[in-house]
């Protein structure tokens, strides 16, 4: 790659800025929420994405859809865009996800979550950061290569996957079963980072989602002696679990963006419909992120012990169910080839010196690493994922696009 060619690519990306914003806005307008979060899945967004890619002349697009009877149409889409490189001896793989989380409490949003709103270089909308910015950057990096008739150094496959926000089973898990990810692939997952865009994530905390169901006895709230209040038992159990887990698993690892394990009560199932009803059943969830030194089995054992203890005290039955359990068994080594190539691209395109770290947020990189692949996770983000008024900076999206394009050309 000569300096003149590099400058041509960088300049072409600058010319795309308005189109990039429009493209991201078109995606944000199509909610792509998974069925476990009350949505219809990613099909409409995938169709719009494929239509746009084909309108720009991309033809090497393949489908790798996963059967899912929980969504209309019965499948979750996974798309693959291929660019032919100078060599097929190795392949650069970029993995971005199409799905988003629900907007949450709409009263906390200053604008429609599913309408991209721009102001002073900032773009606000659900999924703008997670994972719209990276998806847009990857698409326009590929478009720059195509529009300039440039051939990347090696074959490139950009995967647009479903189900990253829920289980990964219908997305990257399905692709792994199909053999779409191959031994020797150089894999980038642009789905986490920090505001300076310097951190390359090499490992993640173990992830544990637990559903708690408390069974009591429903009755009229004016006669509590006739029933057993499941909601009260939930509060006691939740408080005791929160205190015990934080005390027992109190390790610290400064290489992670949040250096401690976390144990957060999150989703709450709807309860009784009336104020004057004593609830006979209650259900809620814990999201646990564990440092590598801690065991998921130990956490589950402690929760079960407390469930038995609180159940006896309150006269309830407390059940715990594992909804999702993931651990990163094989962190990516800092001298992995994808890490070296990405570091070089960052220095050339953004003049930034990378550093290595770990994160608590789960990405599909964890599943890939557990399958034996070396993966780099990187992006320039404001850590707005899942928050109300989720937003990005246009400058970060453009800069990330340039880094990806430089990566395509890195020998």
Give the catalytic positions in this structure: 99, 164
For residue 314, give Cα distances in angstroms to 231, 240, 303, 318: 11, 13, 16, 10
Q: 3-state DSSP: the chain helix, strand, coil percent, rounded to 5? A: 35, 25, 40
HSE of 225, CA atoms in CB hemisphere, 13 A: 0
Of 93, 339, 99, 92, the residue nearest 201 (C-alpha): 339
Tokens of 178: 């199909």
State the burial class of residue 378 (Cβ atoms within 10 Å of its Cβ: 0-12, 13-18, 19+): buried
- Cα 191 from Cα 210, distance rounded (Å): 24
- Cα 187 from Cα 377, distance rounded (Å): 9
Return the axis-axis angle of helices 394-409 and 337-350, rounded to nearest 10°.
120
Helix intervals (H) in 225-292 = 230-248
Q: Residue 281: left if φ>0, alpha if ψ -120 to 50, beta else—which one? A: beta
Return the axis-axis angle of helices 394-409 and 17-28, rounded to nearest 10°.
110
- 3-class state of residue 52 by DSSP: helix
Number of Cβ within a 10 Å radius of residue 207: 19
């Amino acid at each position: 790659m000569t300096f003149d060619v590099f400058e041509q690519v960088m300049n072409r990306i600058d010319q795309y800025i308005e189109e990039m914003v429009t493209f991201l806005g078109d995606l944000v307008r199509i909610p792509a929420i998974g069925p476990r979060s009350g949505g219809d899945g990613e099909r409409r967004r995938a169709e719009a994405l494929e239509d746009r890619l084909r309108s720009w002349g991309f033809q090497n697009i393949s489908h790798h859809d996963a059967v899912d009877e929980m969504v209309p149409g019965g499948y979750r889409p996974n798309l693959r865009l291929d660019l032919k490189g100078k060599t097929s001896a190795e392949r650069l793989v970029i993995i971005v996800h199409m799905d988003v989380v629900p907007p949450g409490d709409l009263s906390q949003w200053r604008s429609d979550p599913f309408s991209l709103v721009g102001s002073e270089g900032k773009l606000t909308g659900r999924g703008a950061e997670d994972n719209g910015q990276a998806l847009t950057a990857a698409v326009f990096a590929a478009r720059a290569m195509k529009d300039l008739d440039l051939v990347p150094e090696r074959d490139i496959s950009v995967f647009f996957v479903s189900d990253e926000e829920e289980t990964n089973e219908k997305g990257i898990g399905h692709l792994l079963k199909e053999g779409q990810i191959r031994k020797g692939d150089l894999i980038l997952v642009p789905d986490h980072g920090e505001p300076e865009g310097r951190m390359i994530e090499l490992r993640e905390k173990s992830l544990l989602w637990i559903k708690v169901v408390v069974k009591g006895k429903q009755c009229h709230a004016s006669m509590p002696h006739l029933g057993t209040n499941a909601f009260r038992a939930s509060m006691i159990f939740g408080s005791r679990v929160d205190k015990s887990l934080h005390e027992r698993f109190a390790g610290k690892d400064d290489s992670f963006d949040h250096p401690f394990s976390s144990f957060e009560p999150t989703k709450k199932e709807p309860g009784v419909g009336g104020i004057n009803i004593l609830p006979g059943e209650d259900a809620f969830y814990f999201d646990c992120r564990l440092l590598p030194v801690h065991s998921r089995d130990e956490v589950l054992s402690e929760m079960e012990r407390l469930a038995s203890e609180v159940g006896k005290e309150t006269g309830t039955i407390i059940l715990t169910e594992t909804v999702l359990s993931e651990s990163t068994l094989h962190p990516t080594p800092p001298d992995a080839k994808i890490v070296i190539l990405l570091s070089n691209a960052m220095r050339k395109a953004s003049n930034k010196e990378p550093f290595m770290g770990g994160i608590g947020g789960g990405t599909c990189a964890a599943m890939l690493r557990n399958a034996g692949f070396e993966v780099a996770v990187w992006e320039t983000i404001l850590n707005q994922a899942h928050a109300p008024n989720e937003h990005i900076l246009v400058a970060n999206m453009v800069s990330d696009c340039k880094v990806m394009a430089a990566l395509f050309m890195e020998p």
